[in-house]
Chains A and B, each alone.
Chain A
């Protein structure tokens, strides 16, 4: 419940402040979102499994976002830019998919 409220509060804050992303950070935004979604799906799944852990969630969220941004940055510097990001998206996408499948099994018993 608190989690949902916090999420809504974040959304409201974003809408109210309507921040503009500096152009230098723009390439990192989509991949950061994907990484965050990965952390969230993992957290939700753990919650449903009954093994949710606050510390684990926070650390995995921050680490995911930072590492994803770092990989994009690294790809840019190495000159393989988009391709490395694609790799990140594929890996995170697979993880999100697996976690969501587990959540689905929990919710629908199927």
Chain B
């Protein structure tokens, strides 16, 4: 038995660093000290007690160190999340503030409209209502089309880890849809409830699409009030072809259907940019020269969208 063992020993190479580490993680100093003690050379009496006291002190220092490190880590970690939480809270607070202010603006707008109706005569009020409905300043009710566009699948590239975003709906897609609807005779359009006016913007900001600076997300529902064949002409027109192409190529969802009797809210924001005092003081039917808004389609007054207020 001894000769094979001896042979094995001769073949053993000096263990490399890691093997040595794994095999013998204990400080050899302990074994040395034990050997010294066994030989009777170890410290005795007072020296022994002093050393024990120092060990205790070391352990105190160790506990101290552990607590400091723990507190440091705990203090470091939430620093980032704290800032994030604060930002999120700010965003939410601002958002609710905006909602409150918007509600107040709506209420005051209603009040103004009521006062105006009380002051002005019937014909002027009717004209105002028509203009407001056309420009998006007043809520309108009617029938038309419901266009639904949704993002396609956005798989994560297994190599780069980036999310593919080419199947996302872009701002230009929504712009195209809105413009096609206007062209097909729509009189009022809302994207996810955001009423479009002549000066509305549909823009991309990073991954979000903003309609008049309000974020909208997929699926995008575009409600449009217009002639009965609106959905059909949208589907058959260039926009329909474009979106069908997107569906077949990227897997987006697209649907255009007629919708009956729905209400579109007024636009949230329409800034008065130009105001001119009419040269003819009495508002007796003459068109006001300085109307700030430019209606894209000069829709006739016998449209189904009038008088929704």
Contact = CB atoms under 8 A, between A and B. Distances in A.
Nearest to A60: B27
B68 A42 contact: no
Q: Indicate the size class of the contact surface on chain B.
A: 35 or more
Interface of chain B: mostly helix, strand, loop or mixed: helix
A61 B42 CA distance: 20
B20 to A, nearest CB: 10
A104 B68 CA distance: 28
B60 A54 contact: no
A29 B68 contact: yes
Given A3-B59, A6-B56, A94-B21, A14 B33 contact: no
B69 A30 contact: yes
A12 B67 CA distance: 8
A56 B30 contact: yes
A33 B66 contact: yes
Contacts of B159: none
A21 B61 CA distance: 15
Nearest to A33: B69
Contact of B57 (A6, A12, A91): A6
Contacts, number: 132
A21 B57 contact: no
Contacts of A13: 60, 63-64, 67
B64 A94 contact: no
Q: Which of A11, A26, A42 is packed against the most chain B CB atoms within 10 Å?
A: A11
Given A3-B55, A6-B59, A29 B69 contact: yes
Contact of B26 (A9, A40, A99): A99
Contacts of A6: 55-57, 59-60, 63
B52 interface: yes
Contact of B55 (A29, A50, A54, A97): A54
Contacts of A110: none
Nearest to A3: B59
B24 to A, nearest CB: 8
Contacts of A53: 29-30, 33-34, 37, 42
B54 A58 contact: yes
Interface string A6-35: 111111111100110100001001101100
A109 B260 CA distance: 80
Contacts of A18: 71
A108 to B, nearest CB: 18
A54 B43 CA distance: 10
A80 interface: no
A51 interface: yes
B63 A54 contact: no
Interface of A: 2-3, 5-15, 18-19, 21, 26, 29-30, 32-33, 36, 40, 42, 45-46, 49-62, 65, 91, 94-99, 102
Interface of B: 18, 21-27, 29-34, 37, 42-43, 48, 51-52, 54-69, 71-73
Closest 4 CB pairs of A and B: A10-B63, A14-B67, A98-B25, A51-B34
